[in-house]
Structure 1
Amino acid sequence: MKRLSTGMADLDLILGGGLEPGSVVVLAGPPGTGKTILAQQICFTNATAEHKAVYYTTLSEPHSRLVEHLREFAFFDPAAVGPKVEFVHLGDLLREDLSPLIDEVVAKAFDEQPVVVVIDSTKMLQDLVSGHALRMALYDLTSRVAHSRTVLLLLGEYTPEELQANVEFSLADGIIQLSYQPRGPVDWRGLRVVKMRGATHLGGTHTVHITADGFRVYPRVESFVRDETAPGDGRIGSGIIGLDALTGGGIPRGDATLVLGPSGAGKSISCLNFLAEGLARDERCLYITFQGTADQLTATAGTFGWDYAAARASDQLLIYHVPMGSLDLDVLASVIRHRLADGTTTRVVIDSLAEMAYAAREADRFPAYLRSLAGTVCSAGASLWVTGETTTFGPMADPLVGLMFLFHNVVQIRYIEHCSETGRAINVLKMRNSRHDNGTYACHITGDGVTLGGRLQQLTGLLGWSALRDCPHTPGHEPTLTTP
């Protein structure tokens, strides 16, 4: 059976394809979670002159105020009020006998065949009749509406405890629970599908934003079940001069690569290298950044001779800047997922993982999230390049304890004490199912971005026992360097 779209592709995805005609769905949640906005958006999206949407109110605010509050949203069409979206107040029908209310709603469903009928709110009916009478009335309503093509939405400020006991939920075909959580610096709203008969919905609580565009939900990336994908065919260039020679001719296509290093070591420039290589090969790329804005990164790339401005103008490159304080893991995953949807984006950069983990404020969730996010990119056939922060001074600490296994490849950039100067060194820590050079090489920031120099033959502290430095040598003699 063809399902009714909510008008939001991601919400339809969460619901398992949309709303089934003839079904009864409860929208539950405390005040301020977006129940009315979501119901109204579904109404205005689906209503036509032939098949209206009918919005019944019980003891809520007057229709004039309700409509006035909707004017700020993009989905609202004032010309549709009446011809397409009808508001009906049930005040005169609210009495100890709910039969007139039931008859009114059922008559609308069969006589006018509306696409959606909303009752806002059904919870207040508990104040009018006994529990037994309410159960019988709602059973009568839901069983009769089930024979129509109308989707019946029942709104109510129900608590999680009431979800387990109230009659509305045992009779409903679907239950959508909305929630609200104060969380600095930005409060958080969520949506969870408790049940949806006849559909395979996505589990978990998904992020909700309410803006001038209306209600929008971002699916939780861990909820997706992905098919195992075969390893990518061939290798791709990193864009870093000298690095591909250490990795057997490049990075295996479709791999997730982590670049570790302290602040200022060149991780972000390595991202520019990686994307510049892809752009030179006419690949589509995505850059997620938590520091520099799109214009700032474009200007930085220009100093190395890479024309990011032209790539952005042609949509070959999308730079998505996430200001600190506004990061949401589900929004970020949705940006990546939608960019990958058509199969044309082949390189994705996230700079950096440390800022992402810190700003997300969801430490317990982060390992599963990161695994799912990497899986999303790699299963789409794209290659992922992620940076991670290490300590600047003293012994190197593992910044991703227990998480490095999520990456196929790990490259490390470190500072090195060289006599009275500070230099850089680079080495490949691991490449899964692929041979690589185990040496450590000099690393420089040049007009070509990050570049490799000669092999460093005498080093101590490579595994973090101490600061990385040249081994003692005869005064006046430089440490041994060999070309890769």
Structure 2
Amino acid sequence: MRFKSNIGALDDILKGGFIKGASYLLKGHPGTGKTVLTNEIAFRHASNGGRVLYLSGLAEGNEAFLEHLKAFDWFDQNAPNKSIYYYSLLSMVNPDEGLESFTQNLTELLSKLEVSMLVIDSLQTFDPLPFELDEVRIMVNKVKAAARILDITLFVLQTPNITVQDRHQEQADLDGIISLSVSCFQQKRVRKIEVLKLRGSDYLLGPHSFKISDSGCSFFPRLEVYYRDPLRVTSDVLTKSKVGIEKLDAMLGGGLVKGSMTSLLGAPGTGKTSIGVQFLCEGAQEKESCMYFGFYETIQRLSTKMDGLSIPLKKFIDEGYIKYVWQPVLENDLDELAERLLDQVEEHKVTRLFIDGIDGFKFATDHPNRIFSFWASLCNELRSREVTVIFSEELGVFQSTKNTGERELAAIIENIVYLGYVEHKNSLERFLSILKVREGNYDPQYKKFTMNSNGLDLANFDRDLRLFRHGTYMEQTHG
């Protein structure tokens, strides 16, 4: 039987929660969240009818300790002394009587209070006391045995210590070991949780990020592990979704295959966002559920810009056909962004998605080498949900496709549309070309791309083009 933490994705990482009556070691340096996490588990357990004994080694006393917990939304002022019992660990240990007396007194207290969860916070409380490590090991094993007999789930907290960490960890022989840590990437600090051992149960391997806020602990499993197997198998029928620009749809052979991934690759100002929003509005016109997921422009600014191009973004947002999700490029978490996106896709049954700025995901990672596997997992999951996706990728103004640095992503997406500038008579004109369409024929010619109050349009150039050495395109000269 499972002992659920009732903390969202933590139970997903544990593949259903802890095992009832088992014992777990939560280890981590100070400030990694051990005490906050176990108290949240305790309060959520109590709110579901459980009873908890919490043995604290803190010298500040229970009242001061509880004052810190009151800042969290899950704190229930009626729980202490009614369903959660806080005892001082130091007051229960008498060095003259030894740990055998402590174990016996604790077992009697567990039976008296009829608890279903026990927390020892932490093993380091015993370090300054005159006990040998073997005595502490024997004590922990006896408490573990008593808890198992009484069907009590045991949590033991530990701060790593160079001299005693390994002996505590190995000799205590607990059923599970969970590590909490804080990693640093540049100036960004990220909390991590990793299950190192979980006897009798499968779990999601590797480190996963989590956050602590007023609402408590929020966990974000690594996308590559969490969605290793797509939810559904996509249909073999290749139906098309129109972008909404007549000549571009013709170049694409009738539009984009439903459930496909398309990259709009180009320099700033070449029209990537405008094409993406037009794609959403075309779907909204057909009463599809669409979503804009962006990092750079607020709904007010983008709506005003689209009004100037006769693209009715605000109209379809107001009517509910386009969901607008915006988050600034701050210290976001990569897996949190993915969870937010997929939750919105599921909630609104989205069939068309425009991700305005893949860089927003890159800036959120603390391991740049993850981007390829992360993006492959996200694309596979969106395909399995039959969502047709367009996302924009930024190039430098004078950067050619040969130097994008994102060539590895080309292998996992179906379509690439390239936008750039033509230098002609001391001015720049926009152009569009299709570099790749995996499922069908397409027109690879360069087309002149215009954006004005009449909307978006394509036309043939009245001159040949050649690649200029800096990456822009210039008029072809002869002779």
Fold equivalence (TM over 0.5): yes
Give the letter aligned to residue 141 of structure 1. V
> What residue in structure 2 maps to residue 479 of structure 1?
none
> What residue in structure 2 maps to residue 120 of structure 1?
121
2:229 to 216, 226, 230: 226
> What residue in structure 2 maps to residue 89 of structure 1?
88
Matched, 1:295 2:296: no
What is the rounded CA distance, in whole Å, between the counterparts of 1:49 and 1:223 in structure 2? 30
Give the letter aligned to residue 153 of structure 1. F
What is the rounded CA distance, in whole Å, between the counterparts of 2:286 and 2:364 in structure 1? 34
Count residues with an aligned counterpart: 472
User: Bigger shift: 320-329 or 258-267?
Assistant: 320-329
**Residues 301-351 of structure 1: CA distance to partner in whole angstroms, max 9, x if unpaired?**
444455545655666443332322322211111112222345812222222
> What residue in structure 2 maps to residue 203 of structure 1?
205
Q: What pairs with 1:76-475 in structure 2 (closer than 5 Å)? A: 76-96=75-95, 97-128=98-129, 129-158=131-160, 164-167=166-169, 171-224=173-226, 225-227=228-230, 229-231=233-235, 233=237, 234-306=239-311, 308-309=313-314, 311-312=316-317, 316-342=321-347, 344-358=349-363, 360-393=365-398, 395-396=400-401, 397-447=403-453, 449-454=455-460, 458-461=464-467, 467-472=472-477
**Residues 389-434 of structure 1: CA distance to partner in whole angstroms, max 9, x if unpaired?**
1221264422313222121111111111233431111111111132
Preserved CA contact (<8 Å) 2:308 2:452: no
Give the letter aligned to residue 205 of structure 1. P
Q: CA deviation at 1:55?
A: 1.4
What is the rounded CA distance, in whole Å, between the counterparts of 2:218 and 2:17 in structure 1? 14
Preserved CA contact (<8 Å) 1:177 1:191: yes
Preserved CA contact (<8 Å) 1:49 1:83: no
Preserved CA contact (<8 Å) 1:346 1:382: yes
Match of 1:31, SS? Answer: coil
What is the rounded CA distance, in whole Å, between the counterparts of 2:452 and 2:392 in structure 1? 20
Preserved CA contact (<8 Å) 2:194 2:208: yes
Q: CA deviation at 1:121?
A: 0.9
What is the rounded CA distance, in whole Å, between the counterparts of 1:103 and 1:340 in structure 2? 54
Give the letter aligned to residue 138 of structure 1. V
Change (3 A) 1:122 1:432: same
Preserved CA contact (<8 Å) 1:232 1:254: no
What is the rounded CA distance, in whole Å, between the counterparts of 2:48 and 2:210 in structure 1? 30
Q: CA deviation at 1:54?
A: 2.0
Change (3 A) 1:139 1:338: same
Instruction: Give ranges in structure 1 of 5+ residues lacking alignment.
Output: 475-484
RMSD: 2.7
Preserved CA contact (<8 Å) 1:439 1:455: no
User: Bigger shift: 438-447 or 41-50?
Assistant: 41-50
Q: CA deviation at 1:35?
A: 0.9
Match of 2:5, SS? Answer: coil
Preserved CA contact (<8 Å) 1:417 1:423: yes
What is the rounded CA distance, in whole Å, between the counterparts of 2:390 and 2:278 in structure 1? 11
Q: CA deviation at 1:126?
A: 3.8
**Residues 355-389 of structure 1: CA distance to partner in whole angstroms, max 9, x if unpaired?**
53245353222222222222222222212211111
User: Bigger shift: 275-284 or 33-42?
Assistant: 275-284
Give the letter aligned to residue 333 of structure 2. D
Change (3 A) 1:169 1:78: farther
Preserved CA contact (<8 Å) 1:410 1:428: yes
What is the rounded CA distance, in whole Å, between the counterparts of 1:203 and 1:332 in structure 2? 20
What is the rounded CA distance, in whole Å, between the counterparts of 1:160 and 1:204 in structure 2? 23
Match of 2:407, SS? Answer: coil
What is the rounded CA distance, in whole Å, between the counterparts of 1:108 and 1:315 in structure 2? 58
Match of 1:424, SS? Answer: strand
> What residue in structure 2 maps to residue 69 of structure 1?
68
What is the rounded CA distance, in whole Å, between the counterparts of 2:431 and 2:164 in structure 1? 60
Match of 1:360, SS? Answer: coil
Preserved CA contact (<8 Å) 2:277 2:313: no
Alignment TM-score, normalising by the size of structure 1: 0.89
Give the letter aligned to residue 466 of structure 2. T
Preserved CA contact (<8 Å) 2:240 2:255: yes
Q: Aligned residues: percent identity?
A: 25
What is the rounded CA distance, in whole Å, between the counterparts of 1:296 and 1:143 in structure 2? 63
> What residue in structure 2 maps to residue 47 of structure 1?
46
What is the rounded CA distance, in whole Å, between the counterparts of 1:337 and 1:163 in structure 2? 40
User: Bigger shift: 275-284 or 188-197?
Assistant: 275-284
Preserved CA contact (<8 Å) 1:273 1:449: no
User: Bigger shift: 252-261 or 78-87?
Assistant: 78-87
Match of 1:37, SS? Answer: helix
Give the letter aligned to residue 83 of structure 1. K
Give the letter aligned to residue 256 of structure 1. M
**Residues 4-43 of structure 1: CA distance to partner in whole angstroms, max 9, x if unpaired?**
2222221111111111110111111111111111111111
